[in-house]
Amino acid sequence: TTPKEFLLAVEGLTVSFDGFKAVDDLSFYVDPDEIRVIIGPNGAGKTTALDLICGRTKASSGSIRFRGQELTKMKEHQIVHAGVGRKFQNPSIYDDLTVFENLEISFPRGRTVFGALAFKRDAEVRDRVEEIAEMIFLADHLDDRAEFLSHGQKQWLEIGMLLIQDPELLMLDEPVAGMSVSERVKTAELLNRIIKGRSVIVIEHDMKFAEDIATRVTVLHQGKVISEGDMAHVKADPKVVEVYLGH
């Protein structure tokens, strides 16, 4: 039998800070076209795990394979180039630029082109910006300066800035923090729409939202996976109950 093709295979990943193992022999696997939600108490190692995958933090041991490539050997920009996008909690949008401009500057730069080719490229960029703006519910706000968007719209814009680079893996850290109920519903809709041909890993504290979006849930505690499966499964797992309800 052929081994199953994972989009992402994290195996035996470990990193220590001053002797403390923030991520400790961590293994988990993400399929294509899935939304994986990572939950776990504060300090469980969730953010560190994403930092390791995107190359912001270097692992002391273990491997991260993404479409056959070993990410632990790559630099942060090479990992972005390989197709991994990461959104942090604080939006890194440009306040004084419009929605259109924010998306446009995020379009991946190819070779410099001139004349008719440049014209064609401009049209291609414009089409792609409009397509993404539609997806992130900002089609009617293309000319608005980013600073005037609502908190939720800013989060969507940043997701759009990652989507325009067409990553195969998108990692989001608490994407609905501070959003209204209706914005959360739309964000769930957005995530479900973008997993055709890509996967999303979401760190989430809001259990309702996690349940709405998760294909599968991975529960971290003390840098390790303590439970994995659909939300109903992990919620009923005594190990998870113990960690969440205290000892």
Give the footprint of ligand ADP on this chain (CB under 6 A).
17, 22, 40, 42-48
Min dist CB 141 to ligand ADP, Å, is 32
What is the Cβ-side half-sphere exposure of residue 99, based on CA atoms within 13 angstroms? 25
Give CA–CA dist 121/114, Å, rounded: 9
Closest CB to ligand ADP among 40 and 152?
40
Min dist CB 20 to ligand ADP, Å, is 7
Which of these, 135, 144, 140, lies nearest to 170 by C-alpha position?
A: 135
Apex CA 73: angle with CA 67 and CA 78, to 5°?
A: 70
Min dist CB 23 to ligand ADP, Å, is 7
- Strands 169-173, 84-87: pairing is parallel
Min dist CB 45 to ligand ADP, Å, is 4
In the structure encoding, which two tokens stand for residue 59, read together? 């692992």
Closest CB to ligand ADP among 17 and 119?
17
Closest CB to ligand ADP among 47 and 187?
47
Closest CB to ligand ADP among 45 and 167?
45
Integer CA distances (angstroms), 89 to 75, 136, 174, in order: 22, 17, 7
Closest CB to ligand ADP among 72 and 153?
72
Min dist CB 16 to ligand ADP, Å, is 9
- Strands 20-30, 8-17: pairing is antiparallel
Phi-psi region of 9 (alpha: psi -120 to 50; beta: other; left: phi over 0): beta
